[in-house]
């Protein structure tokens, strides 16, 4: 299978390319300089030239707070570009696997969200990602929209790396929000699942996250425990740690579908991440 991966160089795209290569698929990984996914002509030309069987779209505006001030720019990348990719994929009989987010929900439910639940984003980032989902669904073919959450991986900035850096700077205590709950997801576990979706030609909306749930404070505590860092966590509320973008307080995702790939518990994902980046980590 020929697999085109957008957003090459990013945390998830790197893992997707590796996962596809391990299964002997032919990988075409394109960065922004090689493909501007917001340019309709460029998208059509690259897909026509490369003739992929599957396209995994990892190109995205991921600065949640930055999107509040630059929603139009975020909308181009998160909202318009997925539709362009889906339309071109449909024209060339390719399958698009588009990565979305738990932030399309308001987080007010007292149970985990399933694929059919009503969306109600609280932030510009969530609104732009929801626009991308709708553009993909409107493209005329049942492409796959994979919602995930709290992503971390070895090749990019993420919460786990931030906590390790703070501990490495000699902090003996960090303040972390305890009233936001989600499902941390290791990019190294999500990437093979995205290839599974491509191989099985699954369509529609799928929820794929690390199994289980925790707060950011609980995640930080587990990071320090697994890494043996001499740093403690002081739980704080969201109101004590204001940010430009409003976050959903409880955005745990589970799947109501039987065909969705299931990931290992988030604690296992954290363990795998720490093993991958262990050289040079402070203890």
The verdict on whether 125 is a catalytic residue reads: yes
CA atoms of 49 and 15, how far apart (whole Å): 24
pLDDT in tens, 258-281: 999 999 999 999 999 999 998 655
CA atoms of 29 and 13, how far apart (whole Å): 8
Characterize 239-253 residue by residue with b for buried, 16 or more Cβ atoms within 10 angstroms of its Cβ, and e for exposed: eeeeeebbbbbbbbb
pLDDT in tens, 113-140: 999 999 999 999 999 999 999 999 999 8
Helical residues (DSSP H) of the chain, grouped into ranges: 11-22, 40-50, 66-69, 71-75, 81-91, 124-137, 159-168, 187-199, 216-227, 266-276
Whether the Cβ atoms of residue 224 and residue 232 lie closer than 8 Å to each other: yes
Q: Cβ-count burial of 265 within 10 angstroms (0-12 exposed, 13-18 middle, 19+ buried)? A: middle
Question: Residue 76, Cβ neighbours under 10 Å: how many?
Answer: 15
Q: Report the pLDDT value the prediction gives residue 179, as an integer from 0 to 100.
A: 97
Q: Which of 103, 113, 125, 273 is catalytic?
A: 125
pLDDT in tens, 5-28: 999 989 999 999 999 999 999 999
- Please report the domains of the chain, with CATH numbers, ordered by start residue: 2-158+183-211+251-264 (3.40.50.720)
Listed in sequence order, the residues at least 6 apart from 62 whose beta carbon sits closer than 8 Å to its beta carbon are none
Q: pTM to 2 decimals?
A: 0.96
Question: Is the confidence at residue 283, as pLDDT, over 60?
Answer: no
Listed in sequence order, the residues at least 6 apart from 98 whose beta carbon sits closer than 8 Å to its beta carbon are 57, 82, 85, 86, 132, 133, 136, 143, 144, 145, 146
């Amino acid at each position: 299978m020929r697999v085109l991966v957008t957003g090459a160089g990013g945390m998830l795209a790197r893992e997707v390319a590796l996962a596809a290569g391990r299964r002997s698929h032919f990988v075409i990984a394109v960065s922004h300089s090689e493909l501007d996914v917001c340019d309709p002509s460029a998208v059509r030309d690259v897909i026509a030239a490369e003739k992929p069987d599957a396209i995994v779209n990892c190109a995205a505006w991921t600065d949640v707070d930055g999107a509040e001030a630059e929603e139009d720019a975020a909308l181009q990348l998160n909202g318009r570009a997925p539709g362009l990719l889906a339309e071109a994929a449909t024209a060339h009989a390719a399958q698009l696997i588009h990565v979305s987010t738990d932030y399309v929900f308001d987080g007010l439910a007292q149970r985990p969200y399933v694929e059919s639940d009503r969306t109600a984003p609280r932030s510009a980032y969530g609104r732009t990602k929801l626009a991308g989902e709708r553009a993909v669904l409107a493209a005329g073919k049942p492409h796959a929209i994979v919602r995930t959450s709290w992503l971390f991986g070895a090749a990019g900035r993420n919460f786990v790396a931030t906590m390790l850096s703070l501990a490495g700077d000699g902090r003996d205590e960090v303040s972390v929000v305890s009233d936001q709950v989600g499902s941390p997801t290791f990019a190294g576990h999500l990437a093979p699942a995205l290839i599974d979706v491509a191989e099985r030609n699954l369509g529609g909306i799928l929820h794929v996250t690390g199994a289980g749930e925790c707060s950011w404070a609980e995640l930080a505590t587990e990071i320090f425990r697994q890494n043996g860092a001499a740093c403690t966590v002081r739980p704080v509320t969201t109101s004590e740690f204001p940010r430009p973008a409003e976050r959903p307080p409880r955005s745990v995702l589970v799947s109501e579908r039987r065909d969705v790939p299931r990931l290992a518990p988030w604690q296992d994902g954290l363990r795998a991440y720490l093993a991958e980046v262990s050289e040079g980590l402070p203890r």
